[in-house]
Amino acid sequence: MRDRFLIFCGLFVFLAIFTCPIWHGIAASTSTAEPELHLPDGQKTCVAPISYMRSAHMQLLIDWRRGDVREHRLFYTAYDGTRYKVNLTNTCLGQCHGSKQKFCDNCHNYVAIPTPSCWDCHQDVSSRAVTTATAAVPGRMP
């Protein structure tokens, strides 16, 4: 085989390019860094168990959206009995998670899954001090 040397060179180059995210991550010290989660200050419980939220928060958001927009179901009763008003900006962000950058983006950027187009329309409210008539007060009747 005359081309053995070239073939092995080519294989080596291919493997180097293919594995470059790994050694590049090691070199830049980013591969072992876990995403930094800024948990909400005041709230201790989430609208659903954490394991569920980790795996299926998008499903919860879709259910909330369908319920609120199309079926006029304004409130959600969590597994622990707390009632929340269905509202991405004012409840999810305003009442609990505070900032899209500090909470949502950290994980999404880490796994390189861009946040869906929700934020083209829904507002990213970085301040938690958005408490108005539209934010949730648990147990309040419509």
Q: Which of 18, 50, 72, 112 binds another protein (CB under 8 A)?
A: 72
Among 70, 81, 111, 112, binds another protein (CB under 8 A): 70
Region near another protein per CB under 8 A, out of 24-32, 37-45, 96-104, 119-127: 119-127
- Within a 10 A sphere around the Cβ of 47, how many other Cβ atoms? 23
Q: Is 123 in the site for another protein (CB under 8 A)?
A: yes
Tell me the closest approach of the beta carbon of residue 131 to another protein, in angstroms: 10
Strand-pairing partners, residue 55, are none
> Is 77 a binder of another protein (CB under 8 A)?
no
Residues 26-65 that bind another protein (CB under 8 A): 65
CA gap 5, 26 in Å, rounded: 29
CB 140 → another protein: shortest distance, Å?
10
Shortest distance (Å) from residue 67 CB to another protein: 9
Measure the CA–CA gap between 108 and 102, rounded to whole angstroms.
11
Query: What tokens appear for 105 in the block?
Result: 């983006």
Tell me the C-alpha distance between 52 and 13, whole Å.
42
Task: Collect all residues with Cβ–Cβ distance below 8 Å to 40 and sequence separation of at least 6.
Answer: 96, 97, 98, 128
Residues that bind another protein (rule: CB under 8 A) add up to a total of 22
Beta carbons of 128 and 94 less than 8 angstroms apart: yes
Instruction: Provide the binding-site residues for another protein, judged by CB under 8 A.
Output: 65, 69-74, 88-90, 94, 117, 120-123, 125, 130, 132-134, 142
